[in-house]
Amino acid sequence: MKKLLLSLTLISTFCFAQIPVGYYNTAQGLTGNPLKIALHNIIDNHTQISYNGLWTAYKKTDINANGKVWDMYSDIPSGTPPYNFTFVTDECGNYAVEGDCYNREHSWPQSWFNSVSGPSSDLFHVYPTDGKVNGIRSNYPYGNVNVASLTTLNGSKLGVCSDLGYSQTVFEPIDEYKGDLARTYFYMSTRYYSEDAGWSTSGATNKSNILPWQMNVLLQWNQQDPVSAKEIARNDSVYYKFQNNRNPFIDHPEWADSIWTFDTEVSIKEIQLQHSFSVFPNPASNSFQIINKSNTQKPVTIKITTITGKLLEEKVFSLQESVLINCEDWANGIYIINLSSEQSVSNIKFVRE
């Protein structure tokens, strides 16, 4: 009986977050952007650990019941993982296949925030993951995939997005960790609200703002995969042992809907703007046009990068119908044309041949 009582006590302690008394007082009763601002002010100015310090922190924040690394890209909660990593011994290093080593995965990719200090080592979004799968995920957004072009050993997928509003490549984690990553993104958008001047854009984000199509996916994942004991324990560990701030959306997952429930009509309109531009001809050798198919006359930032992410050109245009881009001196290959306005971000793949 004493053993059973002890076990129940341990389970109870593990499953209920140790939220400091009064921690969220200033956020109570708020909704929408006022709630987001209040939460930002609560979790702002966290204690920042070094990037190298993540290795040490993981031994406290991401340890599985078997003493191994808790890796969301290889773990199978309902079955047997294909491999396990040992702390320190299996740090990357070089890797060739899954299971070689684990490294530090920026779930909100570094290229999206230009590797600025702060988010670069924020434990709430930098997780220990398999090096090979981390490389496969690259800087693709998270999303749902119908037909996978690649499936990892734990069932995560890479493929064309099947969600409304985005038709490029995405990475889909297994169902058991979709909510974890959704709440990670809610944290990032809130923690770095108004502190994102040096951040970039992506197919899923405009600086620290999450685009409507991506938010719709994350809100669904937040509902479908409720907060787990793992998340609660990790939240407490990050708060009490390292950063002195919490992820509010683990403590109160309902706050995501309170902040980001979009008016359906506005959301659809914003999603449609992502398909407002086209490139012609594509491929091209000497020049091509970026054609504005919408009625918007607002300034649009055009950023052109190589497939490896090297910035080639960046300009701000007030598009009427089209703009001519000279590519005569470019090397043959694939380029990414990123078009962003205050309402939308669109990525177009262009081939110079």
Tens digit of each residue's pLDDT (9 = 90 or more) over 206-237: 999 999 999 999 999 999 999 999 999 999 99
pLDDT the model gives residue 16: 53
CA distance 19 to 282: 54
d(CA 260, CA 270): 14
Domain ranges of the chain: 2-265, 277-352
Q: Kindly report the CA angle at 93 between 87 and 188, in degrees rounded to 5?
A: 70
Kindly report whether the global pTM for this prediction surpasses the value 0.75: no
Tell me the per-residue pLDDT of 122-175, one tens digit each, with 9 for 90 and over: 999 999 999 999 999 999 999 999 999 999 999 999 999 999 989 999 999 999
Q: How confident is the model at residue 255 (pLDDT cuts 50, 70, 90)?
A: very high
Helix (H) or strand (E) holding 113: helix 110-113
Q: What is the pLDDT of residues 35-83, one digit of tens each?
A: 999 999 999 999 999 999 999 999 999 999 999 999 999 999 999 999 9
How far apart, in Å, are the Cα atoms of 299 and each of 196, 203, 292, 316, 345? 20, 18, 12, 6, 12
pLDDT at residue 173 in the model: 98
Q: How many other CB atoms sit within 10 Å of the CB of residue 152?
A: 21
Rg over CA atoms, the chain? 22
Q: Does domain 277-352 have CATH number 2.60.120.590?
A: no
Residue 270 has pLDDT above 60, yes or no: no
